[in-house]
Every structure is written in structure tokens, then in C-alpha cells.
Structure 1
Amino acid sequence: MISGASAYELQRQQRIERNKELLHQFGIHDLGLQRVRSVTLAKRPCKAACEASPSHVLEDNPEANAESTETRNTSFTLRRSTRLRERELVACTNQEQPLNSRIVARLHGVRCKRLRTSVSDPRETASVSLSASNSTKYLNCDVDKLSTYLGGFVPVPPRLGGQVKRSVIEAACAAAVRPVFNRMSGICEWWNAVMLFVNLPAGDRALQNDKPSIPNASLGRGYVNVFYGSGEYIVWYAQRTQDPEHPTLRRLIVDSERRGASETNILLFCRMPKPYDSHYLYCGRLRYVEHSNKTHPIRFNFQLMDFASLIEPKSSCGTPASAYSTAIRGDYAAAWELASRR
């Protein structure tokens, strides 16, 4: 008996003892304990229980202990986040076949920022299942098709509305896919080409009489893309976030220095200011001349390879003028009219 208990507690304890005696007479032993054991074993073990020792199982039943431990070790799997599962999938794929991790990441939908490597040129890796990605970096640019627009506007289909840059990208895409690109960047990298998108200055002429000096402080309006040599050459500035070791800039420099005739087609597109900004004027291919690290951003000099074709007279009334030469001189209204006739 419990010492110092109340009359109610004493009466309750007597009833418990009497009930136990009756259960023993009927051959029922520890009914409550058996029920607790069955409920405990039926519960799904938590993550902490799986990692720790099975101390929560009753020690008076070794067979139940062994069975419960085996069930946890074989049937229970720790939860894994989607990000970790995708990382493991990419790691297994890289072990099976040495692909550029950026390509593998795009195939499995993993953000490339988590898998940056030292590979500077994606063309150096194997071309496997590249069609699974619609990025222009893994698509070919149809340079021959673009030559039909030389000196004129690249048409904008009605379905694209005011998407001027997308009109150029889709017109140049050699594959029957909807290409993906960075709409905010003035550089678009392809597998076999690099496109440069230049905005001509508003209310001023982009053509300079002489080759601009370094730095271009005489203009008084910062680093701008200008033309010189009667329009045969252009000074182009890269983006501020791009250093000399940037993969895209290395393509512009290294390909040209090693091969003379670059494998990378550098293509120039110019856009006139408002209200003549609804189309891009295709100015043909560029040839690397030189670059300078003395300015930030990095300064490039290119030669227009199709300059002779650009300055051919295209006016139907016999006026010796071309849309390109007129546009870089700042006469945008006349340039619009000439480019629209192509």
C-alpha cells in the first residue's frame, strides 16, 4: 500500500490488485503491456530513431527487437531534397561520360551557378545530347541565311510584336526550336558565332573622322561604340563585368589570333534610336583587329568584312546611298527608308 495516501487512492489501489488477481485466474497476463508493445512496434520510426540505437524497443522481447531493427534498416529511407538528388544525378552522369558540367546541368535542370568549372570553351567537350538544351550557346547560327538581310532590317514577325532581338535570334537559328538567350545582354553567344548588338547614339553621328584615341575622352560622353575609317572599322566595348579571361572574350581574341580566319563568326547588328528602333540593321561579319585592357570595360577594334557590300548604292531613285552609311552618319530617317526597301 501507498503510505500517506488518501482514502480514495487506497480504495483505487485495492481495486487494481483485485482486478489483477481476477485476470490471473482467467489466464490473462500483462494485457496492458502487450498492447503497449504492439502499438510501439507498429509506429513508423522517426529519423533520429533510425540513426540511434533501438533503445526505445522493449528489452524483454529480443525477437521483437531484432525484427524491428531489421525493418528499419531495410525499408526506411532518409528523405533527400530535390537539390541534393539532382546533384547526385549529375555526379553519376559525369562519372559515366566526361561532359562539360554546364551542359549536363542544363540537361537535368540544375542551375549552372552551382556547377561552375574551369572549362572555358564548351566546344572543347563532347557534343552529346545538346539538342536537349535550347540555349543559343549550344545551337548553330545560320550565317548564310543572315546574309540575305545584309544592309537591311531583320524582319519582325507579327507574332513577336515588339520583340526585336528575339526576331534576330529566331531568324538566325538553324534548328527548329525556340532558342533561349539573355534578352538584357548586348552579346549573344552561339556554338559557332557571337552576335554583337550595338545601339547607335541619339541625336549624334556614330562615325568619327579618325581612329579614336585610348581612352576615348574627347567624346565627353563615356565609352561609346563608334565607327571610323569611313565606316569600315568599329570600336566596341565589352560589358563591365567581363575581364580578359571571360570565355566569350577569349573566343573573340584567341580564335582570331590562332587561325586568322576565326571559327567564331562575329556578327554585328545596329539599332537606331527612337522612333526608328523597331528593327535591327544587319551589318555583316566582323574581323578582330586588336583589343586593349587599358580601359574598363575592355576595348575592341573590329573590321567590317562586308563593308564593300554595305556601301553599295541601294536607292531605287539612283541616289548613291546605303542604309548603313546613312545610319552611322546620324540621318536615321533616310536610313530607315533605305533599309526598309531591302
Structure 2
Amino acid sequence: MSNTEATNPYVALREAKIARNEARLAQLGLLRPTPANYSIGGLGAETKATKRLVAPKPAREPTRRSTRLSQQTDQPSYRELAFPYEGNRKRPIIAADANAISEVHIPTPSAAVVRQPSTPASNSVRSIDINVDKLVMGEHGLLGRMTEQPGKEYVINKAFELASSMEDQQSGTRLSFNKYCGVQEWNNAVFLWVNLGSKDNTVVNDFLDDGKQITWFGGSRMYDDSSVIHKLLTLGKAASEKASNIVLWVRRYDADLKKFTPYICLGRLSYHSHQPGSHPLAFVWTLIDAELLKNHSDPAVKEEYETLIRL
């Protein structure tokens, strides 16, 4: 050490701190041996010879555990239920004859655990009653008719205009509904939305039995215990050959225009069968008004219906 370094108080203080730190690191076993030629003034390559070694952190095990699950021999699986698909499209393998699908037992409300929906707002479609028979079969009924404008919002407002009570219509509030869902609940009814002919559909809907039945698939968040599924089953099983509160709306993809047509009302539905536990939930519905569509007095309605069931 030079005389200047020995008499410089700053250098002496720095040397003392380094010595103290190195002593502490050596005590903890985190310091490599110091080379003999190391000096305070030797900053640069020689300084890199002295490195602080940080002990590796021990592997941490998950801290959140379930005592109940750890005591079970068979651990639960949270994967979605497998469902047979045809090729790369989500088309469940369903017999061409829908009668080949056996009907399933639907638990009674007391036996089934159903997820309860949230209370709808006063302007929500879910809080409004509509007269389905008037909407479909009334003087201005929409059976077989294509709506004047595309989109679900037009259908909802048209149905409200034609088939809701005067009291609800006089409220003057804008209707609230979920335009992204494949099913729309009313207080006493349900609309099912179906797309036909588009290659981009995540599921493929088919007409069966020469247009008398149709497949329909619940959304990704719909399961056996979903309240809307329970409502569909209840209304569908209660339907008769002349009455139902489930209405089918379909639209087809126009390849030339590269867009969907407006929705067409294909009438009322009754429950035929479904596959519990499938995901998406696969249903087969019966078109109550199929014969009326086939024999409609308006040739345009008959032609459009024939086009739809052949897609």
C-alpha cells in the first residue's frame, strides 16, 4: 500500500468496510477465497475475482392445499367432459333418425340442483312476458317470415312490439338483452338462435327427419345445472302439439354476400331429447309448426323453408 493510501482517511474507511463485509460473508459461507494479489486500488478485472455467492432458494411447494381432497383416494378431474365429434367440426354424432335417440329422465325441480340466475333489471327482457301464440300464429304472426332487418336486436324489439302487454310497452324504456348468447330468456318464454351454412360456426346445426326436428347446442358456459337449461327442459317437456313457449329463430349465411341474412321465425319447439353431460350440451328439438311451414300459403315461405332444411 502506498503512503498516500495509508494516510488517506477515506481509503482507510473504505478498506475497513470491505473487511467487515467480507468477514460477514465468510461467516455465512458466501465468499470465495480472496486472491493474494487483490488490493483496494485494483479495480477492474481483479475485482471480479471476488464474487458474492447467493445460496440457491429452496424449491417451494404449493402452500394452498385441501385437507378434504388430500384424503381422497380418487382425485377429482376438472377436465371438460368428453363428447364425440365428427371430424374437426363440433358436430356431435347423432343418428339421422332422431327417434334413435332415447329420451332421458329429467329430474324434478326438488331433485335437481339448479344454478339460480341473478334478478333481472326492470328493462331486461328476462323480466317481460310475451304472448308466443300471438307472436307466431296471430294476425300479424311471424311464422316463416324473414324479419325486415338483420340482427337479434330487431327480433327482440319486434317481438316486444307484437306480443308484450300494453303496460310493458308504455314503460318507454330501452330493452336490455344479451346479444352474444345463443339463447334469450323472457320471463315466460325462450328464444333459440341458430346459424346455418357458415363454415366459421363452432358447432354445426342440422335439420333431421325432413325438417321436422333440429339440433341445437348450449353455449360454453351452459351445463346441466344451468338455470336456462332447466328452463328449456321445463318448457320443452310442457309443450304440446299446438302450444309451446320456446321459439326458434334461424339465419343462414349468404356466401355471395358474405354475410348472414336476417332471422326467420320457424315457429315453436317441443323437447325431443338431449345428451346430459355433453359439452356443449346437445339437444334435439321438434318443430311443432313444421307442417304449416311446408304447406304455407305463401310460396316464398315454403321455398325459404325448403332451402333452410337442405343446407
Give the whole-Å Cα distance in 1 for the aligned partners of 2:199 and 2:221: 28
Superposed counterparts of 1:1-342, under 5 Å: 120=116, 133-143=122-132, 144-147=134-137, 148-156=141-149, 164-173=151-160, 174=164, 175-176=168-169, 177-202=173-198, 223-257=203-237, 259=238, 261=240, 265-274=245-254, 275=257, 277-314=260-297, 321-330=302-311
What's the secondary structure of 1:240's corresponding residue?
A: coil
Give the whole-Å Cα distance in 2 for the aligned partners of 1:239 and 1:323: 27
Give the whole-Å Cα distance in 2 for the aligned partners of 1:251 and 1:327: 27
Give the whole-Å Cα distance in 2 for the aligned partners of 1:253 and 1:238: 12
- In structure 2, the CA distance between the partners of 1:300 and 1:245, relative to structure 1 (3 Å rule), is same
Partner of 2:84: none
Give the whole-Å Cα distance in 2 for the aligned partners of 1:254 and 1:315: 33
Please give the TM-score of this superposition, normalised by the length of structure 2: 0.51
Following TM superposition, by how much is the alpha carbon of 1:186 offset from its aligned partner in structure 2, in angstroms? Answer: 1.4
Identical columns (%) = 29
CA contact 2:115–2:225 (8 Å) conserved in 1: no
Please give the per-residue CA displacement for 1:305-328, whole angstroms capped at 9, x wherever unaligned: 011111125555xx9943112222
Give the whole-Å Cα distance in 1 for the aligned partners of 2:125 and 2:207: 28
Asked which structure has the greater RCO (Cα within 8 Å, sep 6+), the reply is 2
Give the whole-Å Cα distance in 2 for the aligned partners of 1:327 and 1:304: 13
Greater strand share, 1 or 2?
A: 2
What's the secondary structure of 2:280's corresponding residue?
A: coil
Give the whole-Å Cα distance in 2 for the aligned partners of 1:189 and 1:198: 15
Following TM superposition, by how much is the alpha carbon of 1:150 offset from its aligned partner in structure 2, in angstroms? Answer: 0.7
* Unpaired stretches in structure 1, ≥5 consecutive residues: 1-117, 157-161, 205-220, 331-342
Q: Deviation above 2 Å: which 4+ runs of structure 1? A: 118-122, 254-257, 259-264, 274-278, 313-316, 319-322
- In structure 2, the CA distance between the partners of 1:329 and 1:203, relative to structure 1 (3 Å rule), is farther
Of 138-147 and 184-193, the range deviating more from structure 2: 138-147
CA contact 2:117–2:227 (8 Å) conserved in 1: yes
- In structure 2, the CA distance between the partners of 1:277 and 1:133, relative to structure 1 (3 Å rule), is same
Following TM superposition, by how much is the alpha carbon of 1:227 offset from its aligned partner in structure 2, in angstroms? Answer: 0.7
- In structure 2, the CA distance between the partners of 1:225 and 1:184, relative to structure 1 (3 Å rule), is same
Following TM superposition, by how much is the alpha carbon of 1:202 offset from its aligned partner in structure 2, in angstroms? Answer: 3.2
Give the whole-Å Cα distance in 1 for the aligned partners of 2:239 and 2:189: 15
CA contact 1:196–1:268 (8 Å) conserved in 2: yes
Following TM superposition, by how much is the alpha carbon of 1:232 offset from its aligned partner in structure 2, in angstroms? Answer: 0.3
What's the secondary structure of 2:211's corresponding residue?
A: coil
Of 168-177 and 279-288, the range deviating more from structure 2: 168-177
Give the whole-Å Cα distance in 1 for the aligned partners of 2:187 and 2:277: 29
- In structure 2, the CA distance between the partners of 1:250 and 1:322, relative to structure 1 (3 Å rule), is same
Give the whole-Å Cα distance in 2 for the aligned partners of 1:270 and 1:264: 17
Greater helix share, 1 or 2?
A: 1
Please give the TM-score of this superposition, normalised by the length of structure 1: 0.47
Partner of 1:10: none
Higher radius of gyration, 1 or 2 = 1
